[in-house]
Structure 1
């Protein structure tokens, strides 16, 4: 792993704070926390899929052009 991919201390602290917030939001219940995160992840995956379809459709229709520099 390259040193550029390692999180800095501020990123790590932010991640730890987010973990604490997620656990607190589920009243300390780890199973509920994991369940909520899985549901949120599935929702985001669906959103990404829908956005990719929309961009692909726009590209085919000529409404989206790649940046050529």
Structure 2
């Protein structure tokens, strides 16, 4: 008998457990869990943008373009 990839991948087990935990935190509603995760993701993206703007270009050795220098 061969083990399936799902049975031998601890990262996948952790991901499954995290998904179950997020759904449980939202009362078992998967749609509400997805909405909560999208809000959390947007919050973290905004935090990253603020941190990038606060870090000098010299300190980051040019690895990112500061928000104030970026033209759209």
TM value normalised by structure 2: 0.66
Q: Output aligned runs, 1:1-69, within 5 Å.
A: 9-55=9-55, 58-59=56-57, 64=59, 66=61
Q: Which runs of 5+ in 2 are unaligned?
A: 1-7, 62-72
How many residues are treated as equivalent by the alignment?
A: 54
Runs of 4+ aligned structure 1 residues displaced above 4 Å come to none
TM value normalised by structure 1: 0.69
Q: Which runs of 5+ in 1 are unaligned?
A: 1-7
Greater relative contact order structure (CA < 8 Å, 6+ sep): 2
- Superposition RMSD on alpha carbons, in Å? 1.7
